[in-house]
Amino acid sequence: MTFESNLDMVINNLEANINASFSNYFNTSEYDQSPDRVYGLLQCYGEATAEECFSFSQDIATQIREKCGNATAGNYLLDNYFMRYESYSFFGILDITTFTSYRLAKIMDEPEVFRKEVRELLTNLADEALGSPIQYSSRFTTTSTFIPIYSLLQCWGI
């Protein structure tokens, strides 16, 4: 099978394993063997209802194909929903490059203070997420250097 048909299988599997009464806000799938193996993840953030996630999963197949065409990798982020597929296994690998945004000049004024505040924020966020039934936490805060930070943490399943 080709990468494109394997991608179809992964997307269909992701979509089929989401239903309106699901309790997990993520789903992973992989299909076939190298070099055409495809890995996929569908993630609905904890702020989304089960019905919204189900509806999103119905639309994602069309959207990801429109946005990414025949690419061997793709990310699609919209409000409370995220889908990613790759030609390699990204499961369990931390990726902070996709959604990181900041004002470098303000951070450089007091980098140690900023790092300390961000570390505290992320520690608190992780504690909250681990204590949540859906392993999710989000927070908006302003640092002492007046940099607003919106943070979101949700654990992926294994």
Instruction: Encode burial over 63-96: b for 16+ CB neighbours within 10 A, e otherwise.
Output: ebbeebeeeeebbbeeebbbbbbbbeebeeeeee
Nearest to residue 46, comparing CAs of 26, 69, 31, 19?
26
pLDDT of 105: 52
pLDDT score of 99 more than 60: no
* Residue 94 pLDDT grade (very low, low, confident, very high; cuts 50, 70, 90): low
Q: What is the mean pLDDT of residues 3-29?
A: 78
Residue 118 one-letter amino acid:
V
Number of domains in the chain: 2
Q: Name, of 6-15, 20-29, 65-74, 89-98, the range with top average pLDDT.
A: 6-15
CB 75 within 8 A of CB 84: yes
94 domain residue, yes or no: no
pLDDT tens for 121-133 read 888 888 887 777 7
Same-domain status, 10 and 80:
yes
Same-domain status, 80 and 115:
no
Asked if residue 148 has a cis previous peptide bond (ω within 30° of 0), the answer is no
d(CA 138, CA 36): 36
Contacts of 32-35 with C-beta under 8 Å, sequence gap 24+, read 32/1, 32/6, 35/87
pLDDT of 156: 61
Q: What is the mean pLDDT of residues 126-143?
A: 75
Domain range for 51: 3-86
pLDDT score of 83 more than 50: yes
118 domain residue, yes or no: yes
More confident residue, 39 or 81: 39
Q: Give the angle 89-158-59 at the CA atoms, nearest 5°.
A: 70
The CATH number covering residue 65 comes to: 3.30.430.20
Same-domain status, 82 and 25:
yes
pLDDT tens for 37-61 read 999 988 887 777 777 887 887 777 7
pLDDT of 146: 66
43 domain residue, yes or no: yes
Same-domain status, 73 and 115:
no
pLDDT score of 100 more than 50: no
Same-domain status, 56 and 23:
yes
pLDDT of 158: 47
Residue 135 one-letter amino acid:
Q
pLDDT of 31: 92
